[in-house]
Structure 1
Amino acid sequence: MSSYRPERVGEQIHKEVTRLLMYNIKDPRVSPVTLTGVQMSRDIGSAKIYYTVQGDSAERKEAEKGLKSASPYIRRELGKIMNLRFVPNLYFKFDESVNYGQKIDALLYQVREDLDDHSTDN
């Protein structure tokens, strides 16, 4: 574990918010959400929580609304669970890197298929 405090707090927030989403929040809009990371500000006053959703843009919009409505509850529960003087403000951000990685994988697979087809033609 890192000795850098914002990173440690971010790891703890990631763990606790994941647990809250899995077991405490019954909103069906947040059920397909997967948390991918937490970025803390240096003063631990705010936390950007990155998430992804498997599905189309409509599911993404619904998940965004669900997370926004659950945010005060999550923050209140974090205050009860974590031993912090101030609970950070929570901002949920969609993680574009997962979709980007999937597009790159698909392109690499396509190139590999094209190369295999080209080598069998010769």
Structure 2
Amino acid sequence: MPSYRGGRINEEVRKEVSDIIRNNIKDPRLTAMVSITNVSVTKDLRFAKVYVSIFGKNEEEQQNSFLALKNSSSFVRKEIGHRINLRYTPEIIFEMDNSIEHGLHIDALLEKIKEK
């Protein structure tokens, strides 16, 4: 498998999962803004790790939204199977991505250092 094929598949799955979450999931627990930061599909196309960043009012809202995403993973997999023509439809595994919050924390620390 050429090395660029994996990147194309990752990007296509990311776009489709983002569209499915935005337009097709009707779970009332999904109230926070969800952003797909990265997707990593294994070479055998069996699993896809979807890294999500959730922006909510508080920690409880973020946890409820993440739980709603995890519970809808089979629906997302079915939709991916209809939208993308792959040999196997990957099993969707949602993972939290806290890199944005971590970056904001580091930025705040650097600002503190600048003030001193």
The normalised TM-score by structure 1 is 0.83
Mapping for residues 47-58 of structure 1, pairs under 5 Å: 47-55=48-56, 56-58=58-60
**Cα drift, residue 62 of structure 1:** 0.6
- Superposition CA RMSD, Å: 1.7
Q: Which residue of 2 aligns with 1:14?
A: 14
Q: Which has the higher contact order (CA 8 A, sep 6+)?
A: 2
Provide, for residues 27-82 of structure 1, a one-character-per-residue CA deviation record: whole Å limited to 9, x for no partner: 23334211111011122211100001123321221122101121111100110110
Q: Which residue of 2 aligns with 1:93?
A: 95
In terms of mean alpha carbon deviation, does 20-29 or 100-109 score higher? 20-29
Counterpart CA distance in 2 for 1:4 and 1:44 is 15
Q: Which residue of 1 aligns with 2:37?
A: 36
The number of residue pairs the alignment matches comes to 113
Counterpart CA distance in 1 for 2:18 and 2:25 is 10
Show structure 1 runs of 5+ residues with no match.
Answer: 116-122
Which of the two has higher C-alpha Rg? 1
Show structure 2 runs of 5+ residues with no match.
Answer: none
Q: Which residue of 2 aligns with 1:71?
A: 73
The normalised TM-score by structure 2 is 0.87
- Contact between 2:54 and 2:66, CA under 8 Å: does it hold in 1? no
- Contact between 1:6 and 1:44, CA under 8 Å: does it hold in 2? no
Provide, for residues 12-35 of structure 1, a one-character-per-residue CA deviation record: whole Å limited to 9, x for no partner: 010001111111112233342111
Q: Which residue of 2 aligns with 1:119?
A: none
Report whether the alignment pairs 1:62 with 2:72: no
Counterpart CA distance in 1 for 2:29 and 2:71 is 10
Q: Which letter maps to 1:108? A: L
Aligned-pair identity (%): 37
